[in-house]
Amino acid sequence: MTDVNTTVPPALARALDLLIDPPAEPDVSKGYLDLLGNTADDAGPAKNIGPIQAAWASPLGSMLYDNAQAISRKLLAAWRLPIDWLNIPPGGIALDVGSGPGSVTASLARAAGPDGLALGVDISEPMLARAVRAEAGPQVGFLRADAQRLPLRDQTVDAAVSIAVLQLIPDPTATLSEIARVLRPGARLALMVPTAGRSAQLWKRLPNVGAHAFDDDEIGDILEDNGFTSVRTKNVATFQWVRAKRG
């Protein structure tokens, strides 16, 4: 077990024991575990430098996203998280990839029960700051990490979600492969992404604006290529829910 200082919040202390390479001196000074620091890793995964991602990553953008997300979840059935379907076991570990303001992460923790753990991963410091203020607790912790290179060990997670974030990741295929790696066999995954249908091919010809447009079969095909089974998709307006089980 990793020897951690008593100042590390309980959820993050548990998270340290799940990491591939836990830091000797964990940086939790901002309430989340920062695994990226201030140095740029030019050899690492691609970075999203488009204007859409830049806007969401700013303090103002994170606030606007938070408020828009709260309103949307009240009005749109497309935003309803299939908590029951995820079948998180009591005391299980759940992962929220691209956790934003943390409300989804907290709902995963409630489903896992008092002995469970929900971890939210995001790259945006303003988003993580909002998440820590609003949702951090004994069963809820947040990590600053790149979704294209998840810091968790193989087969350590009982359920995973990613809600409206894959379109902002430069290599969504790498992220889905990483989610497959960290999920235990039989674990379930729920995703929600905007979909452009046939118009996706036209969108992809445009200059980089920092957002990917998925066609209707794209996510499902990637998941099957990464060993997922029982892949199901459902389109609601311009959003697509995808459910799958890790084979």
**pLDDT of 77-113, one tens digit each?**
455 789 999 999 999 999 999 999 999 999 999 999 9
Please check the confidence at residue 202 and state whether its pLDDT lies above 60.
no
What's the predicted TM-score (pTM) here? 0.83
State mean pLDDT over 11-37.
Answer: 97
Q: What is the pLDDT of residue 201?
A: 52
Q: What is the pLDDT of residue 194?
A: 84
Q: What is the pLDDT of residue 236?
A: 83
Q: What is the pLDDT of residue 51?
A: 47
State mean pLDDT over 118-126.
Answer: 96
Please check the confidence at residue 211 and state whether its pLDDT lies above 50.
yes
Mean pLDDT check: name the lowest of 27-31, 200-204, 233-237. 200-204
Is the pLDDT higher at 198 or at 140? Answer: 140
Q: Contact, 145 vs 35, CB < 8 A?
A: yes
Length in residues, the chain:
247
Q: What is the pLDDT of residue 238?
A: 81
CA 196: distance to chain centroid?
Answer: 21
Q: Facing residues of 236 across strands?
A: 239
Quote the mean pLDDT of the chain: 84
Q: Determine the Cα–Cα distance for residues 136 and 138; give it in Å rounded to an integer.
A: 7
CA 214: distance to chain centroid?
Answer: 17
**pLDDT of 158-178, one tens digit each?**
999 999 899 889 999 999 999
Please check the confidence at residue 183 and state whether its pLDDT lies above 70.
yes
Q: What is the pLDDT of residue 66?
A: 54
Q: What is the pLDDT of residue 33?
A: 98
State mean pLDDT over 186-196.
Answer: 91
Q: Determine the Cα–Cα distance for residues 98 and 112; give it in Å rounded to an integer.
A: 19
Residue 49 banded pLDDT, cuts 50, 70, 90: very low
Please check the confidence at residue 45 and state whether its pLDDT lies above 80.
no
Q: Determine the Cα–Cα distance for residues 120 and 197; give it in Å rounded to an integer.
A: 29
Residue 26 banded pLDDT, cuts 50, 70, 90: very high
Buried b (16+ CB within 10 A) or exposed e, 208-240: eebbbbbbeebbbebbeebebeebebeeeeebb
Residue 228 banded pLDDT, cuts 50, 70, 90: very high
Buried b (16+ CB within 10 A) or exposed e, 113-134: eeebbbbbbbbbbbbbbbbbee
CA 103: distance to chain centroid?
Answer: 12
Please check the confidence at residue 204 and state whether its pLDDT lies above 60.
no
Contacts of 7 (CB under 8 A, 6+ apart): 28
